[in-house]
Amino acid sequence: MRKIITFGTLKGGTGKSTTVFSTAGILAERGYRVLIVDVDPQANITSNLGIDETVGGYLGIKELFEDERIHPEKAIIKGPINELPSLDIIGASMGLTSTEMRIISYPGREYLLKKYFRKYSSTFNNYDYIIFDTNPSMSIINQNSFVVSDAIVIVSDIGINALKGLELFVALWEDIVDRLDIDNNIKGLLINKYNLRSSISKEFVEYCQEEEDIRRLLFHSFIPADERISECELSRKPLNLIYKNSEVCDRYNAFIDELISRV
């Protein structure tokens, strides 16, 4: 059964986009059909997959938000990574910023994406996992991604600012789901850039484990700080294709096992 997962944060620099890249790559390697939907105006995932949003005729998530008559097949880019033919993407573009301003006055603005997915369910149901990458905000476009999702995964790095961002994300989304009268679909908190040798990392995890509201969301698997993750962006291939036998890839696999069990 198709599952939609959105990775979110309110703090930049948490490694959310690289987490989406690695998660989608590992799921595709396991044989699942995966669709990445990039709704971040910076279009990092789109660029990571070698897609040029500036070419003539390019269609991405911006166009689908603005015209529901456009069939998703026109925007889906099939198999941008040769080694992972079951991984597709709907890309982003810098123009999403103007889309945000356009749809902010629409009635039912938080449900535009959910309505679109329902209209073209025959296409989206071809995938086992649809994974959204967002920018660090609670924008209307991001809210659309959160509303359509079966699960929201918050990605956090280490530090006091990360903690503030985490708590604010949870509080803001609780207010929104109460206003929209929908279920709270935050299903997990992934700690990224964890350093075994750092006392700050240990103290951060200890705090998260002591706070009941945070502890229930916490994934047992932490992703270590590892420069090889950044190298994957340059190579335009996810971690499992380059460093398959590394500890960090093992950690991602453990996280994905947990994620599958939760959603």
Q: Tell me, what's the pLDDT at 211?
A: 84
Task: Supply the range of the domain harboring residue 51.
Answer: 3-262
State the pLDDT at residue 160: 83
Q: How far apart are CA 205 and CA 203, in angstroms?
A: 5
Could you read off the pLDDT of 80-114 as tens digits, one per residue? Answer: 999 999 999 999 999 999 999 999 999 899 999 99
CB 92 within 8 A of CB 61: yes
Instruction: Report residue 143 as tokens.
Output: 């809210």
Give the Cα separation of 113 and 16 in Å (integer).
Answer: 21
Burial grade of 70 (CB within 10 A; 0-12, 13-18, 19 or more):
middle
Reading the block at residue 142, the tokens are 């991001």
Q: What percent of the chain has pLDDT over 90?
A: 70
Mean pLDDT, the chain, integer: 92
- Would you say residue 230 has pLDDT above 80? no
What's the mean pLDDT in 109-134?
A: 97
Count of domains forming the chain = 1
Q: How confident is the model at residue 186 (pLDDT cuts 50, 70, 90)?
A: very high
At residue 243, does pLDDT exceed 90? no
**CATH code for position 37:** 3.40.50.300
Could you tell me the pTM of the whole model?
0.95
Residue 234, pLDDT above cutoff 90? no
Q: How confident is the model at residue 217 (pLDDT cuts 50, 70, 90)?
A: very high
pLDDT at 136: 94
- Higher-pLDDT residue of 201, 30: 30
Strand order in the sheet with 3-8: 76-77, 87-90, 34-38, 129-133, 3-8, 151-156, 186-191
pLDDT per position as a tens digit, 163-173: 888 999 999 99
pLDDT greater than 90 at residue 54: no
In angstroms, the CA 259 to CA 262 distance is 5
